[in-house]
Amino acid sequence: MKDLKKIIIITGLSGSGKSVAMAAFEDAGYYCVDNMPVALLPEFLKLPIKSAYEITGLAFVMDLREKDFLTKYSEILGALRQQGYECSILFLEAEEETLLRRYSQTRRNHPLSQGKSLLEDIRVEKEKLNPLRLEADRVVNTSHTNVHELKSIILNIIQKNPLFSSMRINILSFGFKYGIPLDADLIIDVRFLLNPYFVAELKSQDGEAESVRKYVLSDDAARSFLEKYLDLLDYLIPLYEKEGKAYITIAVGCTGGRHRSVVIARKIFEHINLPERHVELTHRDIGQ
């Protein structure tokens, strides 16, 4: 686990997109907690955090759902900064018309609802949060953004953090005779390539064997295909990252998933496996 000294406080107006922002941080590898009482934050940071994945940082959604938030956050965050924590405040807001429309669509109650009109509740919350807004490291107005655009904005913010965790990419080889992978985002069929299965000395080997790789890649069609397909992936992957995808699976299939798909999947892996990326290679049916 990396040194978790980077803390993001996600706050702002109700209905401004804090849940979407938290999801974007979670997709980027952050350990996220919604509605965290600020007084409990120092004790929470003492706990051993266990996760199935390496954690990039910590993000907490804090707002006026907690009554003591505004009176305690400054003192607590100040103490944490003295202990070496880097505490940043991300403040989300939106125009009144946008907030009214969003509440109308979701039919949820405003957290400050006390029998007054929704517009009055929004204005009271805005007034109470204004000092916090002035202290924020980043203010984002979400009035004219959809979910995907907001996630893209948040990911651009996250990328400034040196602990940023990029989109996870899984390269998967498989055999069509055993079924198409259900989690595949992109599927390429390479059954048009030379098939080592019909070569006696290669049949018992798999696509990780040097002799099989040389045989498959000796064909002009294979080399031309790889050049074009890798060029396509070089174009697509940054677009998927910009769109805010947390992971993508690129599946390569041949008949049995033992020879041609393994060779091509390996070549794709070698091409896109850059230091700043999280890329994995899986041969689903190589042992069939």
Question: 152 and 42: one domain?
Answer: yes
Proportion of the chain above pLDDT 70, given as a percent: 91
Question: 152 and 192: one domain?
Answer: no
The mean pLDDT of the chain is 87
Question: 36 and 124: one domain?
Answer: yes
The whole-angstrom separation of Cα 222 and Cα 190 is 9
pLDDT in tens, 211-221: 999 999 999 99
Give the pLDDT of residue 163: 43
Give the pLDDT of residue 139: 87
Structural domain includes residue 232: yes
CA proximity to 268, closest of 152, 158, 170:
170
Question: 154 and 179: one domain?
Answer: no
Question: 276 and 182: one domain?
Answer: yes
- Cα dist from 94 to 119, 143, 164, 273, 284, whole Å: 13, 5, 27, 39, 47
Give the pLDDT of residue 3: 53
Structural domain includes residue 174: yes
Question: 115 and 172: one domain?
Answer: no
72-107 burial code (b ≥16 CB/10 A, e <16): ebeebbeebeeeebebbbbbbbbeeebbbebbeeee
Domain, as residue range, for 203 = 168-283
Rounded to an integer, the average pLDDT of 105-129 is 80
Structural domain includes residue 1: no
Q: Give me 114's structure tokens.
A: 């006390």
Give the pLDDT of residue 68: 87
Give the pLDDT of residue 244: 64
pLDDT above 90 (res 144) = no
pLDDT above 50 (res 1) = no
Q: How many CB atoms lie within 10 A of CB 224?
A: 10
Question: 149 and 208: one domain?
Answer: no
Structural domain includes residue 225: yes
Give the pLDDT of residue 164: 45
Structural domain includes residue 163: no
Rounded to an integer, the average pLDDT of 138-143 is 89
Question: 14 and 92: one domain?
Answer: yes
> What CATH number should be reported for the domain holding residue 153?
3.40.50.300
Given 158, 179, 214, which residue is the final one in a domain? 158
Give the pLDDT of residue 114: 66
CB 137 within 8 A of CB 8: no
Total domains, the chain = 2
Question: 150 and 175: one domain?
Answer: no
Structural domain includes residue 288: no
pLDDT above 70 (res 48) = yes
Highest mean pLDDT among 135-139, 240-244, 275-279: 135-139
Question: 12 and 150: one domain?
Answer: yes
Given 138, 158, 178, which residue is the final one in a domain? 158
Rounded to an integer, the average pLDDT of 24-44 is 90
Given 158, 190, 214, which residue is the final one in a domain? 158
Window from 99-113, 116-130, 204-218, 224-238 with minimum mean pLDDT: 99-113
Q: How many CB atoms lie within 10 A of CB 22?
A: 20
Give the pLDDT of residue 146: 87
Question: 70 and 154: one domain?
Answer: yes
Highest mean pLDDT among 48-62, 155-169, 250-264, 270-284: 250-264
Give the pLDDT of residue 161: 55
Question: 208 and 144: one domain?
Answer: no
For the chain, what's the residue count?
Answer: 288
Rounded to an integer, the average pLDDT of 64-90 is 90
Rounded to an integer, the average pLDDT of 244-257 is 87
Structural domain includes residue 125: yes
